[in-house]
Structure 1
Amino acid sequence: MPELLFPFDDVERYPESTKEPASQRLDWKNWLEAQKQFEALTNEGGRIGKGNELLVNEKDVFDMTALQLDEYMDWYEKSWLDVRTSHPLAEMFPAGRTGIEVEPQPISATENQSALEQKLDKVMGALKPRKALSEEEIEGREDDILRPGELYQRYRSESDLPETARAFYEAASKIVGLSLHRLVRTVFETERRLDQWLDDKRRMEYHGEYPETDAGTSVFGVGEDDEEMSELEYLDDRDFSAPEDDDGS
């Protein structure tokens, strides 16, 4: 996930080398402004907007303009229909536009690319370097040095999302075709499973065998009836040393 390298919080984390992707600091407020400008450009003239086609339902059709209907049908044809056919009557029932077209036209691929490039230029131009600290440089220091991905904040529901995180998840949900609620939950459960995998891997390396899977574990590695998790959890900087034996040794 991008927020592992570019978290939404202001906690200072130091990469080991300037060659790491996390050696750059992303300004999420700047990204949010660029995202709003991008959406304004792609929605200009009453358009549905890039990525919003997946959110259209049967009730929306009754309130859509002629331009929006054309835009939606163009997207649907391009995304879902295979118009290749050798049937002799196919030409009598064309799938594409015919006759007089509605003005203004839906945003073209060139216009969309231009809007996307403007967004990227604004975001990439605001990247700032993050100080790197090697293992030798932090050796012997009393203060805790966090690495990228450590003390990583996780969001269980959309109500937990701060403004920039919500905008990011909303943009991602349009691309993958999931509701915001479903995307947040899926990411949360996937992170839980990865967390469990790391725990299991440590036990395997220490004991030399794979641990048994607990009964009642879901496909994401989380019990289906597990409602005891906090509303906001963190992937802490975990201790990867060998676990203690039962006698405390």
Structure 2
Amino acid sequence: MAPTKYHKFRSGERCDECGARQWYAQDALRYCRNGHRLEGFAEHEADEDNFGTQGKVSRKKKEKRQKVAVKLSGDEGRELYLEVLQLILVKQVRWLVIEKEFPDDFEEIVRALWSLRVRSLPVRGSGNEEEGRGGREESQPLFSSMGEGTGSESEELGLSDATTATWAPDAGKRWKLPKLIDTLALCYLGCLVRRLPASMAEFCGWAQRGEIDFLAAFNGIPRNVRDRLPAEYHRALQVRDHIPPGRLQAAVQDLVIAYKVNFETVFPPLNYVPILVRFITELTLPIEVYMAVKCMTEILKTDYSYHTGGKTIRTMDNPEVLLVSLIVVSAKLLYPLDGIERPPRSHEDPRSLKMDWAKWQEVMQDDTAGTSSNLQRGEEYKVGPEDVLTMEKTKLDDFMDWFEKMWIADGDAKTDERIREPFENQKRPTLPNQESNGDGGSERIRNRYEAMNSSLQVVEPVPDPEELENGKKEKQDRDFCPVWRTEEDLPDAAKVFYGKAASTAAVTLNTLIKGTTQVENRLAVWCNQRVKRERDKGKGKAVLMDDDSD
């Protein structure tokens, strides 16, 4: 008779009656070592140690769990938003220094401006909000993580009015949270401090073409930072597909006034001469316009500084708006846009040359259309649904490249795959980089002037008639210049010229019309004062007036 084979109970099991930990099998039944029958146990053909190991084992694959980041709120969310803006500003400054060869100290200047901008915000967690208004005396690291928040809510992200009254200390106003447009505005203010001849139109062009980090800046933010950023700040960082004309000018004006009120900071005047030359050449105007603008600058006694005094800011108080307004008024006086002949009085009169505005429109239109089959960079946002259906293949490829670069983020990889799938395995040649300046821009401007110079005509002078019996001269038609106050008043040639000038300066047409009207009013006042002064001198009166330049 074979010896009894004992087996161990499984971990945690034993005989209910005696507590024995071993059992044996007999007649398809199981008993403990002491002979007590075990209920619920049955004999198995396979060895107990090999039980459950027969056959192929399949396991359900566990789904990968995605970690959901906790959204920050309150002061922590606002602090993270400021750090994101700071990161974007750092990228913009580095691009200007590396790609546009701005001086090395430009970064230090923008650092200081950013430090002042966020230092005026209330300290996070402080009970006294007034400490945020320049009340902190301790120094803070520049371009570092500022431990400051604001008491402002998301609805206060809007732009404040560009008036000194709204920023008066007794009005209880406090700096709002900076917006994404303020990063470009700070870079522009850095150019003012450094006296760099960079215009707002250039900044808008760099941003529109995707060269400087702005329109798609939200896509460049690290994913873990975006996940923790509150939704209202997502909306603040996701801008439209272009910068509206005049938007950057308003942001710069607002910052200039705020720096003056809070820190008594006054920015240098605009380095206007290089910008003036650039505007004139972009508009393909004769060199006589440059001399006329310089004369009017002396008459108006302006140095192209930002105005920070008074309760309101006029349109012409913006230096670049004033500059382009003087260009338009000068061209309007020298080369009439209303079709009325105004012959010169002598050969020295700047009006000795007659400009063919019809030829000018033709040259500018041909230049805008271009001979290239590629889509003009910076104007991709103008493409509409109806244009896509009739667009050439090359231009459609350019638009899709721009769309992928600017608006397809790395948030959902499946979305990217679905968008790219119809265009995979399609090769296209490398396209030349279209720039608005450089050798290509110089060649374009040269071709314009060659076409325009051939159309200029010399006008024979017509002297003034003899004086009347009372010694007065009869006013001639050439002594009057029409004033157009609305877009509807503009003749056809003037409407095209005004529109092109407004586009060159990145302002709206209505803004330019207001600026030119204000300049013309100032010039009319100066002319009246000059006539009155000469009349009073003829009567032997001593007149105490400002020494106006002739």
Considering the TM-score relative to the shorter chain, is it more than 0.5? Answer: yes
Q: Show the counterpart of 1:127.
A: 456
* Structure 1, unpaired ranges of 5+: 58-63, 73-100, 212-249
Distance in 2 between the 1:43 and 1:182 partners? 32
Relative to structure 1, the CA distance from residue 33 to residue 24 in structure 2 (aligned partners, 3 Å threshold; closer, same or farther) is same
Identity over the aligned pairs, expressed in percent?
23
For the pair 1:200 / 2:529, whether they are aligned, the reply is yes
Deviation at 1:191, TM superposition (A): 0.5
Match for residue 431 of structure 2 among 84, 96, 103: 103
The answer for unaligned runs of 5 or more in structure 2 is 1-329, 383-397, 407-428, 469-473
Q: Alpha carbons of 1:164 and 1:44: their partners in 2 closer, same or farther (altered >3 Å)? A: farther
Q: 1:32 and 1:18 mapped to 2: Cα distance?
A: 27
Q: Distance in 1 between matches of 2:404 and 2:337?
A: 38
Match of residue 544 from structure 2: 209
Cα distance in 2 between the residues matched to 1:169 and 1:18 = 28
Cα separation, partners in 2 of 1:201 and 1:37, compared to 1, 3 Å: same
Query: For 1:44-68, what per-residue CA distance to the aligned partner results, in whole angstroms no more than 9, with x for missing partners?
Result: 511136xx79xx79xxxxxx93665
Residue 167 (1) aligns with residue 496 (2): yes
Contact 2:363 2:451 in 1 (8 A): yes
**1:67/1:121 CA distance change after superposition, 3 Å:** farther
Is the 1:67–1:103 Cα contact (8 Å) retained in structure 2? no
**CA-to-partner distance for each residue in 1:121-159, whole Å, 9 max, x for gaps?**
111111111111235xx3379xx78475x2211110122
Note if contact 2:353-2:459 (Cα within 8 Å) is conserved in structure 1: yes
Q: Is the 8 A contact 2:338 2:494 kept in 1?
A: no
Query: Partner residue of 2:466?
Result: 139
Matching residue of 1:182: 511
SS in 1 for 2:460: coil
- Which structure has more relative contact order (CA 8 Å, sep 6+)? It is 1
Q: CA RMSD in A?
A: 3.8
Aligned to 2:358: 29
Change (3 A) 1:140 1:196: closer
Task: Say if 2:336 is the partner of 1:2.
Answer: no
Question: How many residues align structurally?
Answer: 171
Aligned counterpart, 1:45: 374
Q: 1:79-113, CA deviations, whole angstroms, 9 ceiling, x for partnerless residues?
A: xxxxxxxxxxxxxxxxxxxxxx9624214622222
Distance 1:186 1:71 in 2: 37
> Is contact 2:336–2:342 with CA below 8 Å preserved after alignment?
no
Distance 2:403 2:371 in 1: 16
Q: Which consecutive segments of 4 or more residues in structure 1 shift more than 6 A?
A: 69-72
State how far apart, in whole Å, the 2-side matches of 1:192 and 1:139 are.
Answer: 30
Amino acid in the other structure paired with 1:105: N
Structure 1 counterpart of 2:445? 116
SS at match of 2:339: coil
Q: TM-score, normalised by structure 1?
A: 0.56
What's the secondary structure of 1:2's corresponding residue? helix
Residue type of the alignment partner of 1:65: F
SS in 1 for 2:483: strand
Question: Normalising to structure 2: TM-score of the pair?
Answer: 0.27
Which of the residues 348, 351, 376 maps onto 1:19? 348
Q: Aligned letter for 1:187?
A: T
The CA distance in 2 between the partners of 1:70 and 1:17, in whole Å, is 60
Aligned to 1:103, the other structure's residue is in SS state coil
Q: Tell me which amino acid in the other structure corresponds to 2:433.
A: Q
Deviation string for 1:161-215 (max 9, x for gaps)? 122111111121122221111011110111012112222333344261349xxxx
Give 1:139's aligned amino acid: E
Distance in structure 2 (CA, Å) of the matches to 1:174 and 1:113: 19
Q: Which has the larger radius of gyration?
A: 2
Q: 1:8–1:164: 8 Å Cα contact kept in structure 2?
A: yes
